[in-house]
Amino acid sequence: MKKNQDSRNASIIVAFILFILGCLWWLAAQQQWINSQLLGSPAGIYNAAVISVEQGTIFYDTWITFYETVMGLIIGSGLGIILGLGLWFYPKISQIGEQLSVILNSIPKIALGPLIVIWFGSETSSKIWLSAISCFAVAMISACAVAKDIDRDLMNLFKSFKASNAQIFKKLIIPSSIPWIFSILKINVGFALIGAVVGEYISSNSGLGHLIFVAGSLFDLNTVWLGIIILTIMAALLTALIQHIEKKVVKWRA
């Protein structure tokens, strides 16, 4: 209960700080203390939102990016977690796989973008795979580390009862990894979103990344800010959803 209360208090404080910053930004733009053409303004962002809603484009772009992000998060994190935990059966191969994941994670995903677009086309599938690749390495590295750091006393206890590797994996490795799996998912929300947006930057006719790219090319900073705000809200909502599911699944963690 105390942890939940602290989380709510932190959320209220963050919301209050953002509200104050927004008010100061609006006041500075109104009083012309800042160049609203260069920095944008809350009023301009509101007007850009109204126009986008009237045109109906903002809903479609948001849905496309949301779909690409969620699918990339599920595919990339799922494959990374399954492979990372599965390599527990093969300790020597696990070390090689972990090193390869580190190398993959070090490659800037924007450099892989053109290759992914050429291989999978300019439709949503290429953005989903780029988003998945952005999540895969982090998930696999984390899953390998979690599997290796399982409590040794519990491991020895299972072995003392002559448990097979399959039984240890099912009864110990997987249950012990569940809290960490949710942590991996929360971390990968940002990576999945980055992958989807980068793909939309490179080649796309829709999505928030495309919206921001076009608006930036036209020096429409208010629309750029609108896209950034929606992406931020999307990331926050996905993280909150994962936290909600975590509370339902990992009830014993409290």
pLDDT tens-place string over residues 208-230: 888 998 888 888 888 899 999 99
Q: Phi and psi for 98 in degrees, rounded to 5?
A: -65, -40
pLDDT in tens, 106-152: 777 777 778 887 888 777 888 999 999 888 888 888 888 887 777 77
Across the chain, what does the average pLDDT equal? 82
Residues 165 and 113 in one domain: yes
Evaluate if residue 193 carries a pLDDT over 60: yes
Q: Output 102 or 182, whichever has higher pLDDT.
A: 182
| pLDDT, position 71 | 94
Q: What is the band of 254 on the pLDDT scale with cuts at 50, 70, 90?
A: very low
| pLDDT, position 170 | 82
Residues 140 and 102 in one domain: yes
Residues 25 and 47 in one domain: no
Residues 210 and 246 in one domain: yes
Number of domains in the chain: 2
Evaluate if residue 253 carries a pLDDT over 60: no
Residues 14 and 106 in one domain: no
Q: Output 158 or 49, whichever has higher pLDDT.
A: 49
Residues 19 and 141 in one domain: no
| pLDDT, position 63 | 93
Q: What is the mean pLDDT of residues 17-34?
A: 74
Residues 81 and 207 in one domain: yes
Residues 122 and 156 in one domain: yes
Evaluate if residue 1 carries a pLDDT over 60: no
Residues 122 and 241 in one domain: yes
The CATH number given to whatever domain includes residue 67 is 1.10.3720.10
Residues 23 and 55 in one domain: no
Residues 10 and 91 in one domain: no
Task: List the domain range (segments joined by +) for residue 4.
Answer: 1-34
Q: Which of 54-63, 82-91, 176-185 has the lowest mean pLDDT?
A: 82-91
Residues 92 and 125 in one domain: yes
